[in-house]
């Protein structure tokens, strides 16, 4: 018996008694883990599927995590596609049409394909959240925006298609974190040119760095520095050497941290681009 199990099945098959079951705790109705076990996102996802009597398909953010997307907290609601299922705390259940080619299997669980997962994320989440989630999914596994648009054509009356079509043009799998997505959208919404992501900086034939985003024509880049750059000493030393190599090759990198105000970030990057020859007016 695994870490996550259906209580009534365990009792019916003689693996546990009702008394034994009291030493476990329910994470969903009739779905249990050991009392001292802290369920992971994978545990909760498996538990949600068991709760559905093994009939549902995992969707949404939980599906993106199964496909390898990062930045998913263990306590996010688990989204399921299932007919005639009653929701409960920690679960979001939707009764929607799924074609056979929109379902795959990961870790022995039925899960929406990457394209279908992106299609659902884009329809149900606000713009910035959906783009960040789809960016993370595209960073982890292969699919294209065109694949998602084909699903929109397949389901013309589905909820949220307008929201999806607004988000998709901004999706970029080069974003390595939600903060990078936030920074990229901040710059685009401010009227700056759409930056290229993951730009290789080459010294001779050797790449010395990959910049988060930037404009190769002007050799200006923007990078979001997370806390690990300050809390990890070895990473801090590597960053110093990396910054020196990038500077030596003529790049100007604007470094952004969480304390920066969005307006200041825009002004600093605009000023850097202006000094390198960019002349389009700001909105």
- Helix residue spans in the chain (DSSP H): 7-12, 18-21, 41-51, 60-66, 114-124, 127-140, 145-154, 161-167, 178-189, 228-231, 233-248, 262-275
Residues 247 and 203 in one domain: yes
Residues 139 and 189 in one domain: no
pLDDT digits (tens, 9 = 90+) for 243-261: 888 999 999 999 999 999 9
What does DSSP say about strands 206-215 and 220-224: parallel, antiparallel, or unpaired?
antiparallel
Query: Each residue of 233-250: b (16+ CB within 10 Å) or e?
Result: eeeeeebeebeeebeeee
In a domain, 203, yes or no: yes
In a domain, 20, yes or no: no
In a domain, 90, yes or no: yes
Residues 194 and 163 in one domain: no
pLDDT digits (tens, 9 = 90+) for 172-207: 999 999 999 999 999 999 999 999 999 999 988 888
- What's the rounded mean pLDDT across residues 83-88? 78
Residues 152 and 192 in one domain: no
Domain boundary among 153, 170, 187: 170
- In angstroms, the CA 6 to CA 215 distance is 54
Residues 133 and 207 in one domain: no
In a domain, 6, yes or no: no
61 bridge partner residues: none
According to the model, what pLDDT value does residue 274 have?
96
Q: Which domain holds residue 63?
A: 57-170
Q: Taking Cα atoms as reference points, which of 177, 181, 179, 176 lies closest to residue 195?
A: 181
Report the domain count for the chain.
2
Please tell me the number of Cα atoms within 13 Å of 204 on its side-chain side.
Answer: 1
Residues 270 and 203 in one domain: yes
Q: Taking Cα atoms as reference points, which of 228, 215, 230, 201 lies closest to residue 270?
A: 215
Contact 64, 137 (CB under 8 A): yes
Domain boundary among 170, 198, 225: 170
In a domain, 280, yes or no: no
pLDDT digits (tens, 9 = 90+) for 4-31: 999 999 999 999 999 999 899 999 999 9
- What's the rounded mean pLDDT across residues 102-130? 98
Residues 110 and 83 in one domain: yes
Q: Residue 254 maps to which CATH number?
A: 3.40.960.10
Task: Name which residue leads in pLDDT, 35 or 171.
Answer: 171
Residues 203 and 258 in one domain: yes
In a domain, 107, yes or no: yes
In a domain, 39, yes or no: no
Residues 114 and 206 in one domain: no
């Amino acid at each position: 018996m695994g870490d996550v199990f259906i209580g009534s099945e365990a009792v019916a098959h003689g693996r546990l008694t009702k008394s034994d079951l009291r030493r476990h705790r329910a994470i969903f109705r009739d779905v249990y883990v050991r009392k001292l076990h802290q369920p992971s996102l994978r545990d909760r996802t498996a538990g949600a599927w068991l709760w559905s009597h093994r009939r549902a398909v995992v969707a949404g953010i939980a599906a993106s995590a199964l496909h390898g997307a990062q930045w998913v907290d263990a306590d996010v609601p688990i989204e399921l596609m299932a007919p005639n299922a009653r929701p409960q705390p920690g679960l979001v259940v939707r009764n929607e049409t799924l074609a056979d080619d929109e379902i795959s299997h990961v870790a022995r669980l039925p899960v929406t394909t990457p394209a279908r997962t992106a299609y659902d994320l884009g329809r149900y989440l606000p713009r910035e959240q959906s783009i960040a989630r789809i960016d993370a999914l595209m960073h982890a596994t292969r699919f294209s925006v065109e694949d998602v648009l084909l699903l929109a054509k397949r389901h013309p009356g589905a909820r949220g298609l307008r929201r999806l079509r607004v988000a998709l043009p901004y999706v970029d799998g080069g974003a390595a974190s939600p903060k990078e997505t936030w920074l990229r959208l901040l710059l685009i919404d401010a009227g700056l040119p759409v930056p290229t992501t993951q730009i290789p900086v080459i010294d001779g034939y050797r790449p010395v760095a990959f910049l988060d985003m930037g404009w190769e024509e002007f050799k200006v880049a923007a990078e979001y520095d997370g806390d690990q750059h300050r809390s990890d000493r070895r990473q801090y030393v590597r960053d110093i050497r990396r910054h020196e190599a990038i500077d030596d090759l003529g790049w100007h990198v604007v470094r952004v941290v969480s304390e920066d105000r969005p307006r200041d970030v825009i002004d600093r990057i605009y000023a850097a681009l202006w000094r390198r020859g960019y002349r389009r007016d700001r909105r």
